[in-house]
Structure 1
């Protein structure tokens, strides 16, 4: 399906043309038909002779209803600009065309209506020349009389050509459906309508609506039920999970996680202006309208602080409107999560940075380099493609080369930590994370390279060991245990050897001793040796049997037996005997 918006004339010339083209009445309200004045958005559709299905969004022309007009054109890729032969170019036509130009609309058709009442030539020539200086350029043009039908076949043929030239939308893209109507249908509940500009909607799909999730119970397109609709299309969605009072024009249904809601963003004016901007402007995108505080940065760059969050992406085109001056400006979203501007001159520096930032993957690379680290899902939701050179670690993206740069600093951090704490094998992960200013501990493995390694929550060197005097004392203890593996040294013997609590803890971390209980230290491999000796006993066995098999004292046997129970080597029975598991 193709969708086009009418624009240009204040009276019923547009609506009459839409009726002649589609056979449908676009004006939905009795007051509109009585006054001959389009007040709100109107909708109609038809099948062109070539088979294309065309939906028409008829927007108001009068200046008092410019907000409604903007809600209708924001998501539509092409425009049918209507000028009456007897009235010619009007202030409302100029305002509509200024909006289309600010939005960057490049596809359209000029229709000069009421050709039966006046010579269409002058109006056609004047409008063609005026449009040539806008984003629409030199449009194909047709003179038509909706009353007599003259020119209507030529109009449909010209529409076929315009629609054939439209770029194909991405059917797999994330959905952002701006709601332009919300109402209820008895027996169905809440229904919303909008122009699907990208992606596909299916019955059963779930979408984010603010901070809630809603489900599509069913959908229609051009008045008929369908299982799915693919952009570009006019759709009506029957929603589950929201009351009609909780949704309104300007809300958006979003693919969950695909868009970032923001109230602060950086933009660049599509066309720089020398005029001073007011401190507050009205921002339009899709069918949404919010006010915004404006802070000039440098050149054509601005920082906007919105009165309410909007789901935006880098590359979105906004329309900035100054109601007091009846002026509209187009602005491209450059950053939906901009940096704070704290230092003197930061605004000017930020403006210069945006001026030099390219688009596409090169722009994504520049943005990632500035951020250093960012979650992949957040980066994509901002509207950036993932740079091919980015380093991916779990859910994180790291700027190219940054992981290597940080890895080169890790040995210095480890050496400094061991210098201050020689009894510890290396800094805990939290210490290294803080030293390198990493946003998440999950990033630590990406910067720890051989001969360094992660062990027991610390960053250790392969050659890391205990201080020489501590190592000598531990070696002596292990030499004694080699002949009597369960003869744990007494506390006074450990102290006399120079092994206090800190030294013993370091030996345990270095896996040179095993702590069985307070004051009980044995050599690594003690669990296997204990099991081997217990395997020679009748099962189950008593603690006394185990003590004799281990050739040790009750001081060691009791905590050792409990230590083996805790590790699943042995199982304690109700009668206090034990057996091997």
Structure 2
């Protein structure tokens, strides 16, 4: 299916043309029939002789219903622009064209209608002139009379050529369906309609509702009055939502693929002209008031009164509430930084000036320094090629990583100087000092001459400074622990190897061994290995569960768990149970 919106001045024959093309009545309300004009959006469809099905979104042309008009043309990928031969170019013709140009609509057909009432030459010449400096420059023009049928076959042929030239939709993309109608059907519940421009919606899907925190399950989907198991873009679609009151969704809401979109109340944009201090922002079927902070004649920050699901590259239409002026805008950043210090605005202006409005993963990573692949995708940006996550889903800008590693080494040395009796900087303390969002990023930064042992970061141990006989005995213990890493040698075994408390202390200081508790020694790698095994247990777990999982005794398990607790690797749930701490959310 292909979706085409109508556009043009009131009473220039848009609805009449749609009726002639489809045999359907697009005007839905009794008030529309009484007044003889389209007030709200109408919908009709037909199958062209060339094969494609075309759905028309018929929009009002009257200036008082400009918001309804924008809700119709916003999501549509193409337009049928209508100018009456007997009246020519009019005020709403210009306003509709300005809106289409601001949205960057490039595909369409110009129809000179009512050619039975006047010669089309003058209206056609004016229309060509008006379109010449807009995004619709060069679209095909057709002269018709819906009353006599003259030119209608030419219009159908032009529509066939139009839809054949439309770019293919991205059916793998996350769904963002802008709702243009929401109502209730007895026995079915809430139903919403909209133009699906990307992705697919199937019965049984769970979709997020924006704005807000609601989610709803899809009970059924319908397109062109046919119930279908699934509908792919592009399509006019009706979605029956289960257990969602109609009061929680309205025109301008959006159905979203969960976790694939962020809603934002603040965006930085590039505009096609200067803006007043307040604007009405239109995207899809949504209309939201926004405050404007200008950075330059073509750069501004918009603060929205209600959050919207936006991505880099989105086209916005900004309308001055006090006039008929319309300005187009391209979203540059959906997560812009706070501007709190003197000079932040000038720095931001320079940064925005270099942005193109096209998703650029390399630039986004360099600018944000640390970000997840999922966050980039929610902003509308793919992961940068050739840059692998350093921990989990986290990406680090290479230059920032070098800076962080130098800072981490300095923090380790500073902590060692102020805490001479402690063995290294706790990983959680390092995370806080480096202002990182995830403990795993600290581990990813550790490289020689640093080492991560037992939840702490320290200068890498140097076992070579142990006397040869002590080093040999320690290596024997390490060899024993290689096969049974939690079977800590007992006092007799340590004594048989000549490892006195003083020699064991030296081995611990050099990092060859880790003292877990009184007389309990393991390799420094044991805590991390223990956490890996404990994470595989049903959570929470008991001391007995740990003893069985690690294949050792309470003599080892109790002090080992205490060590893991202190390192914030495990946490008590109650007097009996513990759980492994999620390192992506260490504070929970």
- Choose 344-353 or 209-218, whichever is displaced more: 344-353
> Structure 1 residues 198, 485: closer, same or farther in 2, change over 3 A?
same
Contact preservation (8 Å) 1:298, 1:347: no
Deviations 1:409-446 (A, max 9, x none): 44443333333333333211123323433222110121
TM-score by length of 2: 0.80
> Structure 1 residues 449, 116: closer, same or farther in 2, change over 3 A?
same
Query: Post-superposition shift, 1:345?
Result: 2.8
**Partner SS, residue 398 of structure 2:** coil
TM-score by length of 1: 0.81
Task: Please state if 1:127 is matched with 2:127.
Answer: yes
> Structure 1 residues 482, 241: closer, same or farther in 2, change over 3 A?
closer
Q: Counterpart of 1:563?
A: 555
Q: Counterpart of 2:455?
A: 457
Deviations 1:484-542 (A, max 9, x none): 579999xxxx9xx9x9xxx89976987365634xxxx47779xxxxxxxxxxxxxxxxx
Task: Please state if 1:377 is matched with 2:374.
Answer: yes
> Structure 1 residues 506, 343: closer, same or farther in 2, change over 3 A?
same
**Partner SS, residue 431 of structure 1:** helix
**Partner SS, residue 276 of structure 2:** coil
Contact preservation (8 Å) 1:74, 1:285: yes
Task: Please state if 1:428 is matched with 2:426.
Answer: yes
**Partner SS, residue 101 of structure 1:** helix
Q: Counterpart of 1:528?
A: none
Query: Post-superposition shift, 1:249?
Result: 0.4
In the alignment, which of 212, 219, 222 is matched to residue 220 of structure 1?
Answer: 222
> Structure 1 residues 359, 66: closer, same or farther in 2, change over 3 A?
closer
What is the distance in 2 between the residues matched to 1:58 and 1:180? 12
In the alignment, which of 283, 286, 289 is matched to residue 288 of structure 1?
Answer: 286
Q: Counterpart of 1:388?
A: 385
What is the distance in 2 between the residues matched to 1:505 and 1:264? 56
Contact preservation (8 Å) 1:481, 1:523: no
Q: Counterpart of 2:336?
A: 338
Query: Post-superposition shift, 1:225?
Result: 1.3
Q: Counterpart of 1:550?
A: none
> Structure 1 residues 360, 523: closer, same or farther in 2, change over 3 A?
closer
Q: Counterpart of 1:86?
A: 86
Contact preservation (8 Å) 1:298, 1:350: no
Contact preservation (8 Å) 1:298, 1:352: no
Contact preservation (8 Å) 1:369, 1:399: yes
Q: Counterpart of 1:531?
A: none
Contact preservation (8 Å) 2:313, 2:358: no
**Partner SS, residue 106 of structure 1:** coil
> Structure 1 residues 565, 5: closer, same or farther in 2, change over 3 A?
closer
What is the distance in 2 between the residues matched to 1:364 and 1:566? 47
**Partner SS, residue 445 of structure 1:** helix
What is the distance in 2 between the residues matched to 1:133 and 1:359? 21
What is the distance in 1 between the residues matched to 2:451 and 2:230? 52
- Choose 352-361 or 292-301, whichever is displaced more: 352-361
Q: Counterpart of 2:363?
A: 366
What is the distance in 2 between the residues matched to 1:408 and 1:564? 36
What is the distance in 1 between the residues matched to 2:495 and 2:177? 76
Deviations 1:327-380 (A, max 9, x none): 11110111111011112232232122111124545x332222121111222221
Query: Post-superposition shift, 1:272?
Result: 3.3
* Unaligned residue ranges in structure 1 (runs of 5+): 526-560, 569-581
Contact preservation (8 Å) 1:433, 1:440: yes
Q: Counterpart of 1:448?
A: 446
CA-based RMSD of the aligned residues comes to: 3.2
Contact preservation (8 Å) 2:450, 2:460: yes
* Unaligned residue ranges in structure 2 (runs of 5+): 474-488, 524-552, 561-588
Q: Counterpart of 1:511?
A: 513
Matches within 5 A, 1:189-208: 189-208=189-208
What is the distance in 2 between the residues matched to 1:49 and 1:200? 26
Q: Counterpart of 2:535?
A: none
What is the distance in 2 between the residues matched to 1:279 and 1:483? 78
> Structure 1 residues 24, 461: closer, same or farther in 2, change over 3 A?
same
Contact preservation (8 Å) 1:264, 1:338: yes
Q: Counterpart of 2:270?
A: 268
Contact preservation (8 Å) 1:3, 1:233: yes
> Structure 1 residues 455, 331: closer, same or farther in 2, change over 3 A?
same
Q: Counterpart of 2:305?
A: 307
Deviations 1:210-268 (A, max 9, x none): 31211111111111111211111100111112011221100000011111101011111
**Partner SS, residue 441 of structure 2:** helix
**Partner SS, residue 101 of structure 2:** helix
What is the distance in 2 between the residues matched to 1:180 and 1:522? 69
Contact preservation (8 Å) 2:461, 2:511: no
What is the distance in 1 between the residues matched to 2:376 and 2:240? 32
Contact preservation (8 Å) 1:12, 1:36: no
Q: Counterpart of 2:186?
A: 186
> Structure 1 residues 158, 348: closer, same or farther in 2, change over 3 A?
same
In the alignment, which of 342, 351, 354 is matched to residue 352 of structure 2?
Answer: 354
What is the distance in 1 between the residues matched to 2:557 and 2:84? 94
What is the distance in 2 between the residues matched to 1:262 and 1:357? 19
Q: Counterpart of 1:540?
A: none
> Structure 1 residues 303, 425: closer, same or farther in 2, change over 3 A?
same
What is the distance in 1 between the residues matched to 2:21 and 2:332? 40
Matches within 5 A, 1:14-413: 14-209=14-209, 210-269=212-271, 271-273=272-274, 277-360=275-358, 363-392=360-389, 393-413=391-411
What is the distance in 1 between the residues matched to 2:424 and 2:122? 85
What is the distance in 2 between the residues matched to 1:41 and 1:93? 17
What is the distance in 2 between the residues matched to 1:483 and 1:126? 99
Query: Post-superposition shift, 1:324?
Result: 1.3
Query: Post-superposition shift, 1:196?
Result: 0.4
> Structure 1 residues 243, 342: closer, same or farther in 2, change over 3 A?
same
**Partner SS, residue 179 of structure 1:** strand
Contact preservation (8 Å) 2:517, 2:559: no
Q: Counterpart of 1:543?
A: none
For the pair shown, the structure with the greater C-alpha radius of gyration is 1
